[in-house]
Amino acid sequence: MIVRVLVLLVLAGMLCGCGARPVTLVDEKGFVEMSRRMPKEMQARQLLTDDGAYVQRLSGSSATYGELLYTTLSPDFLFDDTGGQHVYLGETFRDTRTPSSFVHTSATGFTIQHPTQRITLRMLAILDWDDDGQDEWMLSCKVEPLRGSRVRTYYVLVTPPSRSGQRLKGTVAALCECYGLVCNTYVNKARVLDRNGNDKSAPATPVQDSVPGLEQVTEPPRGPAPAAQGKDVTTESGLVERSL
């Protein structure tokens, strides 16, 4: 029995000590897509292992987020660089609805079809983005114009509510901006720029005026690391390591 316990502790320590902090997944597909868009940044924040895997914290929770986010989350994090033409104002996303808007909510998020754009918001995961000991909600918010080719996916951090009905505010952690098949990823206070001995006093990577405060991170497409493909490691500590 003692030997078995020691083996489990060693396995759990390997998972937690492999360079990745555990995350609670709500939308695994969305989390994997986000990770593939900025794998080096996720590794720099210890949310992916050096082999490109993540450590999932197993949870039996059946919480639903769609209606809560639709009725309490402010859309203020959306960039307004179009002179307000395609920005729908309101204290919450529910308040942005117009007589011509169509809304669908689900357990993990919601979709709003406005006259000029479609907004798809999903709850991805609960994680510690800044390594400050505080878990936050990570959301994705995809904004697609009904005319035009620029599609933006915001990755947004939200502090969980402490009381029922509390208004929620989001902070943009990263942004993926696509024109057709060409995409650029921008990260707020990117840590990957300081890895491998990079000079922290060097100026930040120049970015477009349309995304103030975000630094561009250029990364090639990345698939799962060969050593981690198809490999899940599970322990009785409630953690699972999965490759992207």
Largest CA distance in the chain: 67
Give the per-residue pLDDT at 69.
Answer: 97
Nearest CA to 136 out of 164, 167, 170 is that of 170
Find the range with the poorest average confidence among 8-12, 21-25, 128-132: 8-12
* Percentage of the residues of the chain whose pLDDT score is greater than 90: 57
Q: Where are the domains of the chain?
A: 2-220
Give the per-residue pLDDT at 6.
Answer: 36
What is the total residue count of the chain?
Answer: 244
Rounded to an integer, the average pLDDT of 105-122 is 95
Contacts of 166 (CB under 8 A, 6+ apart): 72
pLDDT tens digits for 214-230?
A: 666 644 444 444 444 44
User: What's the whole-number average pLDDT of the chain?
Assistant: 79
Rounded to an integer, the average pLDDT of 19-33 is 93
Contact 15, 55 (CB under 8 A): yes
pLDDT at 234 over 80: no
- Cα 236 from chain centre: 27
Task: Report residue 85 as tokens.
Answer: 């033409």
Categorize the per-residue pLDDT at 181 as very low, low, confident or very high, splitting at 50, 70 and 90. Answer: confident
Task: Report residue 239 as tokens.
Answer: 């953690």
Residue whose structure tokens are 């395609």: 86
> C-alpha dihedral over 224, 183, 176, 180, to 10 degrees?
-120
Give the per-residue pLDDT at 72.
Answer: 97
* Percentage of the residues of the chain whose pLDDT score is greater than 70: 70
